[in-house]
Structure 1
């Protein structure tokens, strides 16, 4: 019995009669490129791969001269097989143009783009022009999205699945279009209800469904997703989505995940719903056999005439396996069978949502090496959180500038609430980047390394015993430094301040020096002591003052000298007292000028001079005043402290 079916296959630039189809089979599924293997014969045995591979081609199913279905695509595989008496035999694989994306692997970074925008960028780069978006939801921009060691196809499948976006194909006369959707309710509907006819034979020309199985499986009953963000570390971004339609199973099966949901309540809620729908995508399905060639993944249809009323409803096709045989295409095989087509269809209820299964993100083995970057002219570039930007050498597309990455947090040796350590890597530094829980989209700097350009502070291995902390003057020359020398016999702690050194001790400070202490001050030295000062010297104290020495005592001064007290003055001594001046000696007091003297002793008073005047002659001398340095004059005029760290000025009297 003739079925009226005919299969044809044509390739661009080749005559339509070049090939005849003897058989084909292949699968068409949501969110996956279709792949159809076609058995061909030709009168020509000199067809070369250059004539076919990567060329546009069309497989068409005809019935009674009318086109039932066609698949437009490109030839991804070409096999030259046996050559018989009348025909040469070939085999090809037909795939959509989007399958080309599987042939390009990339490492790249997308920033501040939504998933639909990223998908469109990749498709256009690979010259896939026939695509469309049929999306209901609005998709936020992703701050940072990385493709790492993934093919373009795997990458867009992964990020689309994360958002619950699936794709399918529509076929026109000369091209197919890949449609990206997020709502099964908006899919195209097959124009007629398909009858169920379990008794129908393979030669029945009428479109029908002849076999149906219902599959019901235990799947997670809920999904719980949680995330966090360092901008609000105490808050748990958590949402749980429940399935209420699966009465046949327990509700204790919860799928829990943490992380990678972009730390926002507005994002995590739809993510959770999408994740549960993906987990339950095959919980309740039907499998059917039909002869309806136009049934494609992403198409809705209505089933009728089934003996189970629950099956007579609308369904959404999620995958189709097509199979056709055309033995009479070869004249020598004309009597061995009829042309047949049938398919195996998997579908879900028309009111259910279908989401692709989430694909695992690529993982980085170990850490990545990167270079800190920033705008031209800057040496240090960070944000309010101390984050910096880096350039990854594996990034194929970005330049080494401040747009090369997102902001990366920097791991510190200690980090608390406004206490801890803070060392920011500077532009040009080589850093080691790890990934939070292995997530390629969540980089964090965990270390710095030297290289042939960024060398250590001291030559190695000459100074291998030296532990160093050296900074570098920003927009200038110089550095601050602290190092520890551990060479035996040369142990040292060295501190260097490029300009100022400030030490603030809120309580006590104690120093103990076993040997010598040397202090050199190149300019002024000032001390302010709010209370007492005690100085104890077991040996000799030498003080050399090249200028004036000014001592001001607001109260009494007491000196005790257990030996002699000798002072030699090259100039004048002036002593002024508002009250009495008392000189007392147990032995003698002497005053001598030249040959004249006065000597007071226990035996009397001796006065000797060339001339002695009583109540006549001469006059008293004025007391000389020392010159005051400018710093003291200024302090006296405006009352300002004459040292920078005046404890009295701070109120610490």
Structure 2
């Protein structure tokens, strides 16, 4: 059994992929799934098909270091057969890739975004070993979150990106598995050793790990973000806000106006805000939220699990400004600023991965004295060429965390059938003091207490 070639992709907030065709190639985007594809000549098909679905890919490098990638085999192909050998292709993906095969429509109630993500992960067998929270903020409960015709993977990616939370992967050496790290600030990056800037001599690097061919690309981005929303409980409330997190930067211009970020208060998340009633939390709980694609279900079995954040408890009962109007404007502008400067380079450091904070010694690029944060990695090598990585990164800036690109909410075309509900033994549909009803949506498969199947809705 020998490897002809391998390719891959790894990125922050994505899954890692590797794909062996003609060359050893691995790439990792920050925020995506991990996938590693291998092309192998084998003596027999059975020698590979009998492998356990949970596998690791080790000893990829001919030089000193090695890296172990853990995951699940998601694809297997026979590429060619001859008298001398049979050649196959295998795709090794992160365990998270399996969530892309589960598509759901669901409702979640009275849970924070982090709580919903944990519920989905635990529903797929994830334990406290398989994922880790490294969060700075405490995220408030939302009264209603909807998953609408999305895979579970798409759903949690959308929820996390909406509140500026990214995820990356690291290896758990003791338990031999990959770990999903969920974080919202710069301390969630993985700190690694410094690396020297040095061009290899010809095709030889003499086993010295280095970085070379670094380039910098900068662009103008929006100078500010303006947000606006509407809360029917206080129709006269001013929910218009604007944030410019880089007021002294003369390379920014223009305004990104974003309407309907689904917040109740401009300076608070809605638990208390100048007369706005606090019967719900941060997101608008009107029927309009059905179209936002954000609905959450109650998790009576696992709302409080043992995998708490490194910084906060994320209890959901918080009165800070997280998920307020100005908070949304701030993280949206942080996203714009993180796109302002992009660094590209090459390296033979096999363990380079998205989410790592690295200092470069001897680089001529200005403005990266604090180091860089790796966004994507794509590596390749074969029997004739040395292993080489191409990476993209952004300058590391304390107090300016990376924010993923928000993912559009799915839209619901037309109307959704639902039935007005009430508690047991009520003859008529129950309404609250504002004349609102609760309903049971036909698409919702969860079991709720009678009269608690939804948030309060205006009909």
C-alpha deviation, 1:201, in angstroms = 3.4
Give, in whole Å, the separation in 2 of the partners of 1:307 and 1:276.
Answer: 28
User: What SS class does the counterpart of residue 371 from structure 1 fall into?
Assistant: strand
Please name the residue that 2:123 is paired with: 125
**1:321–1:341 distance in 2 versus 1, CA, 3 Å:** same
Give, in whole Å, the separation in 2 of the partners of 1:341 and 1:137.
Answer: 39
Q: Judge conservation of contact 2:221–2:252 (CA < 8 Å) in 1.
A: no
2:255 is aligned with 1:254: yes
Give, in whole Å, the separation in 2 of the partners of 1:117 and 1:181.
Answer: 14
C-alpha deviation, 1:249, in angstroms = 2.5
Give, in whole Å, the separation in 1 of the partners of 2:191 and 2:172.
Answer: 16
Please name the residue that 1:320 is paired with: 377
C-alpha deviation, 1:373, in angstroms = 0.8
Alignment of 1:23-38 (within 5 A): 23-38=23-38
Give, in whole Å, the separation in 2 of the partners of 1:43 and 1:209.
Answer: 39
Please name the residue that 1:181 is paired with: 183
Among 392, 396, 414, the residue aligned to 1:350: 396
2:220 is aligned with 1:171: no
Alignment of 1:441-456 (within 5 A): none
Q: Which runs of 5+ in 1 are unaligned?
A: 10-19, 328-336, 411-653
User: What SS class does the counterpart of residue 99 from structure 1 fall into?
Assistant: helix
C-alpha deviation, 1:112, in angstroms = 0.5
C-alpha deviation, 1:111, in angstroms = 0.6
Q: Which structure has more RCO (C-alpha within 8 Å, separation ≥ 6)?
A: 2
Among 402, 411, 414, the residue aligned to 2:451: 402
Q: Judge conservation of contact 2:421–2:451 (CA < 8 Å) in 1.
A: yes
Please name the residue that 2:68 is paired with: 70
Please name the residue that 2:227 is paired with: 225
2:300 is aligned with 1:300: no
Deviation digits for residues 440-467 of structure 1 (CA, Å, limit 9, x no counterpart)? xxxxxxxxxxxxxxxxxxxxxxxxxxxx
**1:163–1:311 distance in 2 versus 1, CA, 3 Å:** closer
C-alpha deviation, 1:48, in angstroms = 6.7
User: What SS class does the counterpart of residue 332 from structure 2 fall into?
Assistant: helix
Deviation digits for residues 56-79 of structure 1 (CA, Å, limit 9, x no counterpart)? 121224557754322111111111
Please name the residue that 1:372 is paired with: 420
Structure ID, larger Rg: 1
Q: Judge conservation of contact 1:74–1:96 (CA < 8 Å) in 2.
A: yes
TM-score by length of 2: 0.77
Please name the residue that 1:242 is paired with: 244
Give, in whole Å, the separation in 2 of the partners of 1:235 and 1:43.
Answer: 72
Please name the residue that 2:152 is paired with: 152
Q: Judge conservation of contact 2:4–2:40 (CA < 8 Å) in 1.
A: no
**1:245–1:56 distance in 2 versus 1, CA, 3 Å:** farther
Please name the residue that 2:197 is paired with: 196
Give, in whole Å, the separation in 2 of the partners of 1:21 and 1:293.
Answer: 19
User: What SS class does the counterpart of residue 203 from structure 2 fall into?
Assistant: coil
Give, in whole Å, the separation in 2 of the partners of 1:76 and 1:228.
Answer: 45
User: What SS class does the counterpart of residue 91 from structure 1 fall into?
Assistant: strand
Among 210, 215, 237, the residue aligned to 1:213: 215
C-alpha deviation, 1:87, in angstroms = 2.5
Give, in whole Å, the separation in 2 of the partners of 1:381 and 1:67.
Answer: 67
Deviation digits for residues 593-642 of structure 1 (CA, Å, limit 9, x no counterpart)? xxxxxxxxxxxxxxxxxxxxxxxxxxxxxxxxxxxxxxxxxxxxxxxxxx
Alignment of 1:21-100 (within 5 A): 23-47=23-47, 49=49, 51=50, 55-61=53-59, 67-100=65-98
**1:302–1:209 distance in 2 versus 1, CA, 3 Å:** same
Q: Judge conservation of contact 1:187–1:298 (CA < 8 Å) in 2.
A: yes
User: What SS class does the counterpart of residue 206 from structure 1 fall into?
Assistant: coil
Q: Judge conservation of contact 1:213–1:286 (CA < 8 Å) in 2.
A: yes
C-alpha deviation, 1:368, in angstroms = 0.8
C-alpha deviation, 1:401, in angstroms = 2.6
Q: Judge conservation of contact 2:106–2:146 (CA < 8 Å) in 1.
A: yes
C-alpha deviation, 1:139, in angstroms = 0.5
Deviation digits for residues 172-225 of structure 1 (CA, Å, limit 9, x no counterpart)? 34100000000023322112x211113543331210111111011222121111
Q: Judge conservation of contact 2:37–2:91 (CA < 8 Å) in 1.
A: yes
Give, in whole Å, the separation in 1 of the partners of 2:338 and 2:63.
Answer: 38
Among 326, 341, 344, the residue aligned to 1:269: 326
User: What SS class does the counterpart of residue 143 from structure 1 fall into?
Assistant: strand
Give, in whole Å, the separation in 2 of the partners of 1:8 and 1:249.
Answer: 41
**1:357–1:282 distance in 2 versus 1, CA, 3 Å:** same
C-alpha deviation, 1:390, in angstroms = 0.6
2:141 is aligned with 1:141: yes
Give, in whole Å, the separation in 2 of the partners of 1:374 and 1:308.
Answer: 65
**1:197–1:390 distance in 2 versus 1, CA, 3 Å:** same
Give, in whole Å, the separation in 2 of the partners of 1:180 and 1:368.
Answer: 34
Q: Judge conservation of contact 1:8–1:60 (CA < 8 Å) in 2.
A: no
Alignment of 1:529-540 (within 5 A): none
Among 102, 105, 111, the residue aligned to 2:103: 105
Q: Judge conservation of contact 2:348–2:388 (CA < 8 Å) in 1.
A: yes
C-alpha deviation, 1:324, in angstroms = 2.6
Alignment of 1:245-644 (within 5 A): 247-251=249-253, 253-264=254-265, 265-266=267-268, 267-325=324-382, 327=383, 337-338=384-385, 340-351=386-397, 352-378=400-426, 379-399=428-448, 401-410=450-459
Q: Judge conservation of contact 2:367–2:395 (CA < 8 Å) in 1.
A: no
**1:363–1:21 distance in 2 versus 1, CA, 3 Å:** closer
Deviation digits for residues 234-254 of structure 1 (CA, Å, limit 9, x no counterpart)? 112232111427735243x11
Q: Which runs of 5+ in 2 are unaligned?
A: 8-19, 269-323
Q: Which stretch of the first structure deviates more once superposed, 301-310 or 239-248?
A: 239-248
